[in-house]
Amino acid sequence: MPREVEAELIKECLKSFRKYNDTVIVSAAICHLFKENDVVGSFMRIEPELKRISESPLTPDLAVMYDNMSKGIVFEIKWSVSQNTKWAEKKIKDVKKYCDTLINWKNETGRVEWHDVILICHHEDSERVLEIIKKLASEDDYDCFKKTGFSIWTWLFTHGKKGEKTEELRLMKIYGQTRNVELERLMSPELGFLVPDKVLTFLRFSYFVVKEKPPLSYLLNLLIVNVLSHPVAPRYENSYEVPTDWIWNKAKNVILSSEEYEDKSLTIKRRWIREALNSLVELEIIKKGNKEDTWEIPTNLFRYSRRYIHEIICEKIVKKRMKQLKREYSITQTSRQKSRLSGKESKLTDFFIDGLKK
């Protein structure tokens, strides 16, 4: 049984990695759509800070403006939606806040005549999201979900003919519509919007994260491949020691692409990097340095591995977590508490996002 559980958790870890990776590409494709099609709209920025009157600011994933900067669109991207209906519904309900009047748009007045809201979800979650949206739209408090100006998009990756390595991304509208006439014309009901292979190849090396926190496997893979695998010491040395600031500055330059981010978003992402470094220590991939706030990195980190790094990481995460769960279970049994390992099932996959807990 433990082996079966371990195998299932590794499978879920890899699935989380893939879904987040897909979502990043979709976010990048939407940026590309507006940057290359001025008639549809003008790309505003990634994670803009828009404000609700007398309430705290909001930070959607993307925002664009159209019709001579007089109208707007906000995009909220959900890379994963819980299988738990109650949690999933809570997450979808939260999208309603983007239907409120928003200010701080990038024009002279900071206001628009109206703005549309587009919710984007992974195609594996699309049916469940549609079901929840339709249910909520029947309630007075969430009637904005059934009005013109609210829409749901998903996507499909399609591969070329047998023997070809080409890959295309197709953005698909599955619910509602915006008031952007040109965008609606571009998003063909039958075919959606096609992003060709050559564009995808460019985007894969240009964008790395979306607003929502990545699963741990994705974040560790990102840090190792783009930052820690480029040592600042000769290869013949076993390791090198660097401060957190050095890692953050390099990660910021590589991972956050060329887009500008609000200070609040940067602060959150810096916290992700520190959490990732602590998790790498927990997994015994790196060590804490001898000096304060430094890290000891192996010079040949995964250099000679023939496997994908994220696969190795998922195995290490799950094995570590299984040991923790066994220890927790043993302590619970000894103290004769009522809780059992089965009572912790809802937390089994928390570490895919929140990291390892001691």
Same domain, 302 and 234: yes
Distance separating the N- and C-terminal Cα atoms of the chain = 24
For residue 240, the enclosing domain spans 213-358
Same domain, 162 and 63: yes
How confident is the model at residue 290, as a pLDDT?
92
Identify which of 170, 169, 129, 168 has the alpha carbon closest to the alpha carbon of residue 151.
Answer: 129
Residue 218 lies in a domain: yes
Q: Map residue 240 onto helix, strand or coil.
A: strand
Instruction: Tell me the pLDDT of the chain averaged across its residues.
Output: 85
Same domain, 345 and 312: yes
Residue 16 lies in a domain: no
The enclosing domain of 103 has a CATH number of 3.40.1350
**Cβ partners under 8 Å of residue 296, min gap 6:** 239, 240, 241, 286, 287, 288, 289, 290
How confident is the model at residue 37, as a pLDDT?
87
**C-alpha Rg value of the chain to the nearest Å:** 22
Same domain, 235 and 167: no
Same domain, 322 and 239: yes
Q: pLDDT digits over 70-111, tens only?
A: 999 999 999 999 989 899 999 999 999 999 999 999 999 999
113, 71 contact by CB (below 8 A): yes
Residue that finishes a domain, picked among 159, 185, 204: 204
Q: What are 211's two structure tokens?
A: 């607003």
Helix, strand, coil % over all residues of the chain, rounded to 5? 45, 20, 35
Sign of CA dihedral 299, 353, 45, 62: positive
Instruction: Place 1 in a pLDDT band, splitting at 50, 70 and 90.
Output: low
Same domain, 112 and 191: yes
The structural domain count of the chain equals 2
Q: Which residues, listed in sequence order, are joined to residue 75 by a DSSP beta bridge?
A: 62, 118
Give the best-scoring range by mean pLDDT among 37-46, 186-195, 271-280: 271-280
Same domain, 82 and 112: yes
How confident is the model at residue 354, as a pLDDT?
52
Mean per-residue pLDDT for 322-344?
A: 57
The Cα 207–Cα 64 span in angstroms is: 18
Same domain, 151 and 133: yes
The Cα 126–Cα 312 span in angstroms is: 30
Residue 11 lies in a domain: no
Same domain, 171 and 250: no
Q: Is the whole-model pTM more than 0.75?
A: yes
Residue 63 lies in a domain: yes
Same domain, 197 and 217: no
Task: Say if strands 239-243 and 167-177 run parallel, antiparallel, or are unpaired.
Answer: unpaired
Same domain, 119 and 251: no
- For 269, half-sphere exposure in the C-beta direction (CA atoms, 13 angstrom radius) is 24
Residue 250 lies in a domain: yes
Q: pLDDT digits over 212-255, tens only?
A: 999 999 999 999 998 998 777 666 688 999 999 999 999 888 77
